[in-house]
Structure 1
């Protein structure tokens, strides 16, 4: 059976994140598999999967910043803010032709930084205990509240024009909880027919001002410290070979503390440890590693004392890949 660790998957188009988890369960020979951060079926790219006790790491990965490559089509909004939905009224060729490169740059600028964003009504956000997309499919009208997100980079990589659409290839680096579909919607709403951006009209309706916009392609290229360049093809997955051992994964995510034998024993038994030369504030998890190279757990410092946040069972330990033992 596969040990404990993370597997980076390059999710193909057309599969749900749940489909990926099911495939990894079969490949790894365990039911204890989860993922960090859902990708829509139309999206491709990095999906981080936790195996066995390393599912405990996923909580800390979900909140990491993310990078995407996407294509935004200006010229029509859709019922889902992406290409899988029903297209709404199309903009006229004249309206599209009137949009300049400077207009697009200004629209992107207004959606960069700390912004208030209304998530798509077909998102996985829960409304009174039920997913928003499930309520929409049941015929309900769902209105989600704006929430603060950070778009640290919104870069235009290329522009392709036709009479009926303007396709924008973009790169986005953003905080957890940012919807790229919503950026596409709001960019289209703010071009060619009204401000639409940053004002009360944002997200009020799919028939908002402007020429309309929706997402036609999305690829997640990075989550925190992990890149899609290191991800594996699901069709040829060797779960054991692809596994990033828990100690290596945690050491990439957090500061690493190498323990003495006694410190490892104390933490394993739920006791606090004291580090005399520890300096600086606590608050961030620290990966605590035994002399054997196994991940004992994640700990949190308060001054010079540390307590366990998450323990890892020693029987699932996999030898680290950096040659330590």
Structure 2
């Protein structure tokens, strides 16, 4: 059984996130592996896996902001808002002016209201939207507020009546980049969809430090203590305090030492005791990590 930890994976195209988890389970010899933040089969890039008890940390990772590098094709719509779908309409986008693109992107930057793609994994009446769409059923998803802090065009190419934009997007969790492509094309009157998507960052974690799919068995795991400290910040505790937290006791009067909450309680050996929060003047563990407990 592997030690608990977090594994960064550079997902290749053509695989589902579940496919990656299955490969990791086989490579590491454990069933207890989960992931934070699904990537579509077409997409590549950073997928974060939790192994053994560290799966409990994924809840603090999934909501972090993200960075994507993507190519948007203006001049065609598809039924999935990406290149895996069937083309529904085509419009000559060769005459779309750069100033118009800039203005439309500005309207899709900042805090915006976005209707997710109808082939998203959002549940509608207990079923995934993509399952409903594939079954030919009408899918209506509610708009949600998301934040796009960066939507920048890096390069553009005009080919065969299409306008391809290579862009980088920094956004909040829950943002659908496919929907950005769809809405950009709609605003310009020519339609749009994604032809490539790569996630390069989740919070403080970068794809540059991720393992290739064929190297999962030999890739080093980041320790729960290191990951929790990176995401939440450290709350150092004594050996006695660590023991009390592991036994469900509060640290009486310790909240003044807690600079931010929740935080990672780290014992003198550098192990993650658990995730702690304030309870009035006290500090209480809201999630212990038994796999990190000393023998």
**TM-score, normalization by structure 1:** 0.87
Taking a change above 3 Å as real, the CA distance of residues 142 and 161 of structure 1, as seen in their structure-2 partners, is same
Is the contact made by 2:28 and 2:216 (CA closer than 8 Å) also made in structure 1?
Answer: no
User: For residues 1-325 of structure 1, what are the structure 2 equivalents within 5 Å?
Assistant: 1-92=1-92, 96-191=93-188, 210-239=189-218, 241-276=219-254, 278=256, 284-314=261-291
Q: Which runs of no fewer than 5 residues in structure 1 stay unpaired? A: 192-209, 319-325
Taking a change above 3 Å as real, the CA distance of residues 111 and 158 of structure 1, as seen in their structure-2 partners, is same
Runs of 4+ in 1 over 6 A off after TM superposition: none
For residues 174 and 215 of structure 2, the distance between their equivalents in structure 1, rounded to whole angstroms, comes to 31
Is the contact made by 1:156 and 1:170 (CA closer than 8 Å) also made in structure 2?
Answer: yes
Once structures 1 and 2 are overlaid, which stretch shifts more, 38-47 or 97-106? 97-106
Two-structure CA RMSD over aligned residues (Å): 1.6
Is the contact made by 2:181 and 2:194 (CA closer than 8 Å) also made in structure 1?
Answer: yes
Aligned length: 295
For residues 137 and 277 of structure 1, the distance between their equivalents in structure 2, rounded to whole angstroms, comes to 51
Q: Report Cα offsets for 1:50-83 as digits up to 9, x if no partner.
A: 0001100111111000000000000011000000
Shift, 1:303, TM fit: 4.7
Is the contact made by 2:6 and 2:48 (CA closer than 8 Å) also made in structure 1?
Answer: yes
Q: Which runs of no fewer than 5 residues in structure 2 stay unpaired? A: none
For residues 50 and 152 of structure 2, the distance between their equivalents in structure 1, rounded to whole angstroms, comes to 31
Shift, 1:118, TM fit: 0.4
For residues 120 and 291 of structure 2, the distance between their equivalents in structure 1, rounded to whole angstroms, comes to 38
**TM-score, normalization by structure 2:** 0.96
Is the contact made by 1:46 and 1:231 (CA closer than 8 Å) also made in structure 2?
Answer: yes
Is the contact made by 2:5 and 2:224 (CA closer than 8 Å) also made in structure 1?
Answer: yes
Shift, 1:140, TM fit: 0.5
Is the contact made by 1:68 and 1:220 (CA closer than 8 Å) also made in structure 2?
Answer: yes
